Homo-oligomer: A and B are copies of this chain.
Amino acid sequence: MKLTTLSIAGTTTAAVGVGHGAFVPLDAPDLGALLAGSDWRQRVDVARASGAAPVRLDEDGVRIGPLVPRAGKVICCGLNYADHITEMGRDLPEYPTLFAKFADTLTGPADDIAVSASAQVDWEAELGVVVGRTLTDADETEAEAAIAGYTVANDISMRDWQRRTLQWFQGKAFDATTPVGPVMVTPEEVESTRFAGDGFTVRGYVNGDLVQEGRTRTLVFGPARLLSYISRFTTLRPGDLVLTGTPGGVGMGMEPPRFLRDGDVVATEIDGIGRLENRVRLT
């Protein structure tokens, strides 16, 4: 199943996709709140069977909001694609490089990304993992079972701010700059569409040109391993979001470096999940 958070006339609601840009609203204010109930799959099934009228994305006042607008934790992994690390001549890391964002950092899959005070806005196409169960000190099997689903994200990064100090956080936590969505796809749906296990292809585009392409089977720390590792120091809860890192091809790595200009369109897609398309506004 494909789940998301809709914004309808300014109010958010969890919703389940029923195809062709139509969603049936669910009795929860957002996807994270839905996942906090252990019976969420049943509730979705009941709503789908109810015959309730779907909402369409082309209706006035309907948009897809940030997927998990009240996520308690958004944790990101850097330096995680083995092929890119090897290509850069580095050793594979023993531990994941982790940093945090806040829910305020997230934005919707079609929203403009407005940035002021940065001249080095860069892209990072990523697979996102939504947590479906509380996880503390979990092994990889438990962590795998706690994955509610997968989504698409772009960890848009303000490289000038990111490199002002040793800690990346300030360049990674600008409000409403990390698009996520458009939906969370549950694991069994992914298997049935042949993108089993870690085998997603993550692509990033700028103004229609392919700039990044990575296969998540080359992740040093795959989704379950990342969730397990994080759960050893902090509790993961339903609706928390973990971003798994970006493959090669970011603007900072180009010769000369390339950064986003006002009006540029960044697209991010993963086959079997969906596509983000966001216009950058430098204000």
Residues of A within 8 A of B (CB): 72-73, 75, 78, 93-105, 116-117, 136-137, 158, 161, 164-170, 173-175, 232-235
* Known A72-B103, A173-B234, A233-B117: A166·B166 in contact at CB below 8 Å: yes
Q: From DSSP, what is the main secondary structure of chain A's interface residues?
A: loop
| B98 touching A234, Cβ below 8 Å | no
Tell me if B97 and A235 are in contact (CB < 8 A): no
Residue pairs across A and B with Cβ atoms less than 8 A apart, 16 shown, are A75-B169, A78-B167, A95-B170, A97-B165, A97-B166, A98-B170, A99-B100, A99-B167, A99-B169, A100-B101, A105-B234, A116-B137, A136-B175, A167-B167, A173-B234, A175-B235
Query: Could you tell me if B72 and A167 are in contact, using CB atoms closer than 8 angstroms?
Result: no
A98's contact among B96, B101, B116, B165, by CB below 8 Å, is which? Answer: B165
Contact of A234 among B72, B95, B136, B175 (CB under 8 A): B175
B-chain residues with CB within 8 Å of residue A234 when the two chains form the complex: 102, 104-105, 173-175
CA A162 – CA B164 in complex, angstroms?
19
Which residues of the other chain, B, contact A75 by a CB distance below 8 angstroms?
Answer: 169
Contacts of A170 in B (CB 8 A): 95, 98, 233
Q: Are B102 and A73 touching (Cβ within 8 A)?
A: yes
| The 5 nearest A-B residue pairs measured at CB | A100-B100, A97-B165, A95-B164, A174-B233, A99-B167
Q: Assess whether B164 is in contact with A167, with CB atoms less than 8 Å apart.
A: no
